[in-house]
């Protein structure tokens, strides 16, 4: 048959299709009884029309998928085919079911080789997602098993099919379409001599499923991030800086952003209020004196403008009187979280005596789970991987770089973190020149949002980016559902494919330093 002669159409089964359906089933299922009775099909169509899917070529049925709604807990455990059938061969479709059960998939032998079965399976998966069902279950026959039964147990046969040492027309197809074998079922269909009565319990898991009781309280899945590429400028007072911050928060809020992100140490121009700048440590401790006020004011803005704010970073004096470079997450409900910079650059350590923090965490927000790494920290891949192991959706990276080569270190490492951890990464920096203040003479930045590198994301894995070295704001809409899909069904699945049998990664417990660890 020539491909040019095909005129394929996907639609739902109708009662008038029964004669053609019977022809298909009688021809394919001649060894296990042939077609369902007409009243069985008509009732299934009436009770669950969306689940009965056909492919027609012109007006001829060439592919069919029959499906029922079932209770997941009942059918995700060993069962028999008869458990699906009531009196008078009525298929027991459960309107309150939370899973699909694949009854039959049939392709006209003359149309095999065109991957029509894959089309039907994809249509089933889309139905499962659209109905917010937990999974697709199926009892899969193993019709080639009779040829190997004398030498292989059913378990060994399945294992060899999974390793592609044996081809089974049903099981091999199911595995190729993302189904997993949960268990072996005995006497599933006793009359199925080819399978020796065995069947596999197969499951395709809907990773987008949300339990009904959580639908109303579930977090957003489409979120908007706004970032401020901040101009380092001379300020004559603290109020001027806060006024500029509020200006940007107001603007980002007007565009319904869920997050506003500021750069690392964005309030450093306040050092200019100090007459004598000869001592770098004195300068940075002077700057740290404004941090508490900034934290409280920015938290107020987060609540007032209904936006979560990643407050760049600021210098904090710790309880031990040491200096830390800290970013604050000011939630729009008033809560404040903190993340200290863990890896301190040689300049910070030498000139300002900044100390690295000891704790790393993912923070739950009303718009996803986020991690925060300050500038240099993103160049250490272990940190992002630890956050990814805690189901991080978005990594926020406030940074401060002076030259393009130092900026590119941050950018390239951030983009690698997005790919290897299958998450979004937001990098946000400052621009401008301020020669009158030590360490603020030059800036270089091009803020950006990076994504995993796969088909559902931009071809260059860049969601958005600013004009280099220009004060501006940037927006990007991030679909958190795409992260779930790429982690489960992407072209590559970096997180799933790690060789944990060869290596592992863990964060040491340093809580004893603060006396918070419970023995």
| pLDDT on residue 186 | 92
Confidence of residue 518 (pLDDT cuts 50, 70, 90): very low
Which pLDDT value is given to residue 163? 92
Each residue's pLDDT tens digit, 129-163: 999 999 999 999 999 999 999 999 999 999 999 99
Residue 409 has pLDDT above 60, yes or no: yes
Give me the catalytic one of 128, 283, 330, 375: 375
Burial of residue 516 (number of CB atoms within 10 Å: 0-12, 13-18, 19+): exposed
Q: Pick the catalytic residue: 264, 297, 348, 422? A: 264
Question: Two tokens at 460?
Answer: 């260059």
For residue 350, what pLDDT is reported?
Answer: 92
Query: In DSSP terms, which residues pair with 66 in a beta bridge?
Result: 104
In the structure, what pLDDT confidence band is assigned to residue 2 with cuts at 50, 70 and 90? low
Instruction: Count CB atoms within 10 A of the CB of residue 112.
Output: 13
Rounded distance between C-alpha atoms, residue 128 and residue 205, angstroms: 9
Query: Shortest CA distance to 52 belongs to which of 110, 124, 153, 154?
Result: 124
The string of pLDDT tens digits covering residues 393-407 is: 999 999 999 999 999
Closest to 416 measured CA to CA, from 388, 443, 444: 388
Higher pLDDT, 371 or 497: 371
Residue 375 annotated as catalytic: yes
Q: Is 330 a catalytic residue?
A: no
Q: What is the DSSP letter of 145?
A: G
CA pair distance 395, 414, nearest whole angstrom: 9
As a whole number of angstroms, the distance between CA 322 and CA 89 comes to 77
Residue 4 has pLDDT above 70, yes or no: no
Burial 462-471 (b: 16+ CB within 10 A, else e): bbbbbeebeb
Tokens of 226: 């706004």
Range 217-243 burial, b when 16+ CB lie within 10 A, else e: eeeebebbbbbbbbbbeebeebeebbe
In the predicted model, what is the mean pLDDT of residues 419-439? 90
Longest dimension (CA), the chain: 95
Whether 120 and 65 have beta carbons less than 8 Å apart is answered as: yes
What is the predicted pLDDT for the residue at 43? Answer: 95
Distance, in Å, from the CA atom of 456 to the CA atom of 424, rounded to the nearest integer, reads: 13
Residues 6+ apart with CB under 8 A from 95: 47, 48, 69
Instruction: Please report the sign of the dihedral spanned by the C-alpha atoms of residue 203, residue 207, residue 208, residue 211.
Output: positive
213 pLDDT above the threshold of 80: no
Instruction: Look at the chain and count its residues.
Output: 519
In this structure, the number of other CB atoms found within 10 A of the CB of residue 138 comes to: 24
**pLDDT score recorded for residue 167:** 94
Catalytic site includes residue 341: yes
Residues 63-101: pLDDT tens digits? 999 999 999 999 999 999 889 998 878 999 999 999 999
The whole-number pLDDT of residue 519 equals 45
| Closest C-alpha among 470, 419, 415, 423 to residue 445 | 470
Catalytic residue among 341, 413, 422, 423: 341
State the DSSP H helix or E strand holding residue 384, giving kind and residue range, or none if neither.
helix 381-388
Whole-number Å distance between alpha carbons of 107 and 344: 63
Summarize pLDDT for 289-317 with one digit per residue, the tens. Answer: 999 999 999 999 999 999 999 999 999 99
pLDDT on residue 245: 96
Lowest mean pLDDT among 3-12, 90-99, 278-287, 472-481: 3-12
Q: Are 185 and 137 in contact (CB under 8 A)?
A: no
Average pLDDT, the chain: 91
Q: What angle do CA 427, 262, 301 make, to 5 degrees?
A: 145
**Whole-angstrom Cα distance, residue 449 to residue 456?**
15
Percent of the chain whose pLDDT exceeds 70: 95
Using the Cα atoms of residue 382, residue 383, residue 385 and residue 389 in order, give the sign of their dihedral: positive
pLDDT value of residue 460: 95
pLDDT category, 55, cuts 50, 70, 90? very high
Structural tokens at position 403: 């030259």
Q: Which strand (E) or helix (H) includes residue 282?
A: helix 280-288
Give the pLDDT score at 382. 96
Instruction: Output the CA–CA distances (angstroms, integers) from residue 146 to 143, 172, 417, 492, in the order listed.
Output: 7, 16, 49, 36
Alpha-carbon gap, residue 145 to 136, rounded angstroms: 24
């Amino acid at each position: 048959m020539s491909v040019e002669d095909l005129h394929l159409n996907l639609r739902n089964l109708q009662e008038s299709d029964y004669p053609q359906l019977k022809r298909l089933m009688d021809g394919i299922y001649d060894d296990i009884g042939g077609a369902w009775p007409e009243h069985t099909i008509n009732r299934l169509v009436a009770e669950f029309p969306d689940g009965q899917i056909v492919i027609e070529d012109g007006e001829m049925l060439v592919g069919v998928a029959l499906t029922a709604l079932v209770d997941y807990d009942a059918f995700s455990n060993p069962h028999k085919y008869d458990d699906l059938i009531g009196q008078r061969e009525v298929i027991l479709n459960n309107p309150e079911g939370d899973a699909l059960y694949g009854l039959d998939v049939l392709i006209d032998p003359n149309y095999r080789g065109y991957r029509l079965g894959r089309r039907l399976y994809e249509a089933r998966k889309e139905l499962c997602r659209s109905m917010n069902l937990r999974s697709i279950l199926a009892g899969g026959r193993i019709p080639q098993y009779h040829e190997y039964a004398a030498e292989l147990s059913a378990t060994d046969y399945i294992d060899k099919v999974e390793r592609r040492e044996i081809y089974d027309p049903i099981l091999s197809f199911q595995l190729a379409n993302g189904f997993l074998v949960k268990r072996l079922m005995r006497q599933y269909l006793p009359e199925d001599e080819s399978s020796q009565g065995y069947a596999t319990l197969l499951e395709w898991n809907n990773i987008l499923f949300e339990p009904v009781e959580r639908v109303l309280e579930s977090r957003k899945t489409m979120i908007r991030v706004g970032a401020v590429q901040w101009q380092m400028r001379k300020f004559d007072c603290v109020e001027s800086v806060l006024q500029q911050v509020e200006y940007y928060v107001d603007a980002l809020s007007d565009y319904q952003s869920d997050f506003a992100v500021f750069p690392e140490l964005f309030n450093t121009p306040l050092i200019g209020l100090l007459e004598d700048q000869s001592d770098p440590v004195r300068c940075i401790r002077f700057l740290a004196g404004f941090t508490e006020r900034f934290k409280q004011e920015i938290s107020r803005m987060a609540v007032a403008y209904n936006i979560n704010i990643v407050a760049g970073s600021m210098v904090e004096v710790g309880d031990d009187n040491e200096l830390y470079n800290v970013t604050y997450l000011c939630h729009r409900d008033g809560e404040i979280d903190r993340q200290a910079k863990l890896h301190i650059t040689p300049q910070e350590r030498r000139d300002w005596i900044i100390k690295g923090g000891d704790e790393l965490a993912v923070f739950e927000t009303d718009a996803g789970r986020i991690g925060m790494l300050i500038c240099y920290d993103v160049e250490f891949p272990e940190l992002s991987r630890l956050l990814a192991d805690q189901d991080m959706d978005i990594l926020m990276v406030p940074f401060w770089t002076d030259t393009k080569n130092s900026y590119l270190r941050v950018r390239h490492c951030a983009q690698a973190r997005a790919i290897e951890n299958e998450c979004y990464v937001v990098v946000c920096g400052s621009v401008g020149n301020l020669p009158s203040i030590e360490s603020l003479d030059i800036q270089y930045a091009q803020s950006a949002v990076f994504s995993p590198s796969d088909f559902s994301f931009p071809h260059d894995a860049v969601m958005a980016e600013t004009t280099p070295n220009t004060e501006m704001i940037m927006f990007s809409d991030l679909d958190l559902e795409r992260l779930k899909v790429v982690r489960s069904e992407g072209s590559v699945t970096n997180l799933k494919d790690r060789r944990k049998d060869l290596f592992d990664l863990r964060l040491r417990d340093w809580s004893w330093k603060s006396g918070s660890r419970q023995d």
